[in-house]
Amino acid sequence: MRRIQPVRGTHDLAADEMRRHRHVIEHARTLAARYGFAEVATPIFEFSDVFRRTLGDTSDIVTKEMYTFTDRSGAEITLRPENTAGVARAVIGGNFGERRPFKCFYAGPMFRYERPQKGRLRQFHQIGVELIGAAEPLADIEVIALGAHLLEALGVLDQVTLEINTLADEASRRAYRAALVAHLEAHEDALSEESRQRLKRNPLRVLDSKDEGDKAVLADAPAIDAHLSAEAAAFFDGVCQGLSALDIAFTRNPRLVRGLDYYCHTAFEFTTEALGAQGAVLAGGRYDGLVETMGGPATPGVGWAGGIERLAALVEETVGAVAAAPRPIAIVPLGTRAEAAALGLAQRLRREGLAVEMTYRGSLSKRLKRADQARAAAAVILGDDEMERGVATVRDLDSGAQVEAPEAELGTHLARYAPGP
């Protein structure tokens, strides 16, 4: 029988890794709630149009990374490659209410058909927030502040740098794109093959090329700042000042652009050097055109998404192991009569809030070994001796100290051990 492998780019999450994921998710969920972002969930698959219409025909995600299939009714379905479009779809449909601004938090799996690498999987997990219906810089500032706060709470803020840029409004961006294209076309011979392609399809993407020849051409390329409308400049100014007022350190990166078409104005990215090539750990921006693109009323929005695998890896690398589960109490019955009694005892203790591990088989020696492997803090030994006298032996597994306690008082004897989950 040949062993079946997991699908490429997918991972089983063992208890330790799952705990690291949960550590990230729970910090994010708690902080998001504190900022007024309530948790929601959208389906992990949508009609393909939800993504095709919003992400842009030239984006890599749409052109080659979507998991798309036809279901039994003939509908074209796509496993979500990101969650913003799904949230926007639900908001437009009124499924999340009519109150504006609408603020939400989400966590869940996303799917992209990519070449797997460290920190890059085909099924990966994101946390994210969206703030829909507020056009003010204050909204951008709060959204970014939440991201920074989360990174701080996870203990990794000093491992990342915040880069920020403005993509301006459409008119400014169009003017800038024209100037950029003119410059790039004048130096087309010096550009890499890929950048020449991008020049035609999505010229702004040339800006973050790592090719040395491209960089040389870009060195004296026009900057967007010269093309900003007064409003766009003021907006970006407002965001930067707000971040400074909150003591959130950032650097301006005029080459920072977004891969997805729906972004405008603020674009930001928390990146780290500690994770190799996949350094973006939490990133997002403003997407004022998105809701309208999807057929809703013109509605501004801003948000971010963070990669759970990447955040968890960064936490593990810089902070170390996350807190382990609470240590259980092990029940060690000896003999069939004791086993029957132990069942009820275990349930009783669990109802009192203790984590209780039953030992199922073997001699006392074997069962204590099991208790030890389960990281139990104490063992409750219940044998014929004890049954006769209506007591149980409580053994502290760290010190080896043992006391006998009447069964009714077991709860008090065990109270000094950590409560269960």
200: contact with RNA by CB under 7 A: no
201: contact with RNA by CB under 7 A: no
130: contact with RNA by CB under 7 A: no
Q: Tokens 């950590």, residue? A: 418
407: contact with RNA by CB under 7 A: no
Residues 162-191 binding RNA (CB under 7 A) are: none
From 114-122, 136-144, 168-176, 179-187, span contacting RNA (CB under 7 A): 114-122
- What is the C-alpha to C-alpha distance for residues 241 and 244, in angstroms, rounded to an integer? 5
381: contact with RNA by CB under 7 A: yes
Residues 209-228 binding RNA (CB under 7 A) are: 209-211
372: contact with RNA by CB under 7 A: yes
- What is the C-alpha to C-alpha distance for residues 305 and 297, in angstroms, rounded to an integer? 24
Contact letters (x/-) for RNA, 9-48, by CB under 7 A? xx--------------------------------------
126: contact with RNA by CB under 7 A: yes
Residues 52-81 binding RNA (CB under 7 A) are: 59-61, 65
For residue 74, with 0-12 CB atoms within 10 Å meaning exposed, 13-18 middle and 19 or more buried, which class applies? exposed
DSSP-assigned states of every residue in 298-338: ---EEEEEEEHHHHHHHHHHHT-PPPPPPPPEEEEE-SHHH
Q: Which two tokens stand for residue 250?
A: 């950032």
Main-chain dihedrals φ then ψ at residue 271, nearest 5 degrees = -125, 160
Residues 298-317 binding RNA (CB under 7 A) are: 305-307, 309-310
Main-chain dihedrals φ then ψ at residue 81, nearest 5 degrees = -90, -10
- What is the C-alpha to C-alpha distance for residues 306 and 173, in angstroms, rounded to an integer? 26
From 32-40, 238-246, 320-328, 363-371, span contacting RNA (CB under 7 A): 363-371
Torsion of CA 134, 135, 139, 140, to 10 degrees: 140
Main-chain dihedrals φ then ψ at residue 411, nearest 5 degrees = -55, -45
Site for RNA, rule CB under 7 A: 2, 5, 7-10, 59-61, 65, 82, 112, 114-121, 124, 126, 194, 198, 205, 208-211, 258-260, 269, 276-284, 305-307, 309-310, 334, 362-366, 368-369, 371-373, 381, 383-386, 393, 395, 397-400, 402
